[in-house]
Amino acid sequence: MPLDETLLTSLEEFIARYMEAFAVPGAVIGVVQGDSLVYAKGFGVADPATGAAMTPETQVMIGSTGKSLTTLLMGTLVDDGLMTWDTPVQQLYPDFRVLDPELSRTITMRNLVCACTGVPRRDLELLFNADRLTAEDVVASLADFEFFTDFGEAFQYSNQMVAAAGYIAGAVAAPNAPDLAAAYAEALRMRVLEPLGMENTTLSFDEVRARRNFATPHTQMLDGSYAPIDLDVEALLLPIAPAGAHWSTLEDMAQYMVMQLQEGVAPNGRRVVSAQNLKETWKPQIAITNDASYGLGWIISSYKGLQVISHSGNTLGFT
């Protein structure tokens, strides 16, 4: 369906109402059809203090939407024969442990990103320890996580598990990197971001500041109002970077969406990942509800008979 003026007017009126109702200072909206970004527009301001406009080039944090960047990276390693989805984690990273010794030996790379192991969500400690935690600390911490359910019994969302997957995949792809965080950043850049032409997607807060076109994060206060927060507050996500500390722009994410729609081929014609391993990330792994399942970094659902592959992305100051 083409985006005619009537549809665009209706869309923009809805966005304006939504932003007013929820006191959203700025938003950026894009629509991809086929192999093209057919609509891209910023609304409101990126920084209320300066009045800088929100644009398709403005960097924002994409939160857990970035999990699929990590599983895409993993897919490229499978393509190159460096691992399989079902390679036991300890074969790639012998120090890996979870609380159950047998699971420590048998848990696979797929299991780290399927939200199906029974390892629960434990984000609160990041609020207090993020400035001291390394990537190695995050991977090691999984040895102390109590299981909420048996393996494969129920959906359990864990940022630390996905982070471990990204860090270990990074270590496989970039074995000479000085540490796990550097390995993941290098592998993501070389295998995903550069092939896709995602020039303004990064994990580096220093790069974001230097570019000087980023949105100011806002969060809800105790009285229900929204207020800006310091950019450094968002750095609490850095220890679990592969699970959701990515910065990006609408234009870059459109490149990513086109690649997904073209089953692994970037807009520039370069194949980033095989169709087989991209589609592996879309396969349901564990039920979330009667109508939705979790894949590998994606939520799989349906709408009016059509399959929907999606993921939200929230941080303290972005959504």
Domain edges within the chain: 57-310
pLDDT score for 291? 94
At 1 the pLDDT is 66
What number is the average pLDDT over the span 270-287?
98
Residue 126: pLDDT band (50, 70, 90) is confident
Phi, psi of 113 (to 5 degrees): -120, 10
pLDDT tens digit string along 149-184? 888 899 999 999 999 999 999 999 999 999 999 999
Q: Which residues, including other chains, have CB under 8 Å from residue 131's CB and lie 6 or more apart?
A: 235, 236
Averaged over 5-18, what is the pLDDT? 94
124 against 257, higher pLDDT: 257
pTM of model > 0.85: yes
Residue 110 is predicted with a pLDDT of 98
In angstroms, the Cα distances linking 31 to 61, 121, 250, 301 are 19, 32, 10, 20
Mean pLDDT of 312-316: 95
More confident residue, 88 or 23: 88
Evaluate whether 139 touches 168 at the Cβ level (below 8 Å): yes
**What is the fold, at CATH topology level, of the domain defined by 57-310?**
Beta-lactamase (3.40.710)
pLDDT for position 225: 84
What are φ and ψ of residue 293, in 5° steps?
Answer: -135, 165
Q: Is the pLDDT of residue 265 over 80?
A: yes
Residue 121 identity: R
- What mean pLDDT value characterizes the chain? 95
At 106, is the pLDDT very low, low, confident or very high (cuts 50, 70, 90)?
very high
Mean pLDDT of 208-227: 92
The whole-number average pLDDT for the span 203-217 is 97
Mean pLDDT confidence for 275-285: 99
Q: In this structure, are residues 162 and 67 in contact, taking their beta carbons and an 8 Å threshold? A: yes
- What tens digit of pLDDT does each residue of 19-46 get? 999 999 999 999 999 899 999 999 999 9
- What's the pLDDT band for 267 if we cut at 50, 70, 90? very high
Tell me the percentage of the chain whose pLDDT exceeds 90.
88
Closest CA to 240 of 61, 93, 58: 61
The number of angstroms, rounded, from the C-alpha of 73 to the middle of its chain's C-alpha atoms is 12
27, 42 contact by CB (below 8 A): yes
Given a cut of 90, whether residue 4 has pLDDT beyond it is no
CA 192 to chain CA centroid, Å, is 13
* 30 in Cβ contact with 56 (< 8 Å): yes
pLDDT at 304: 94
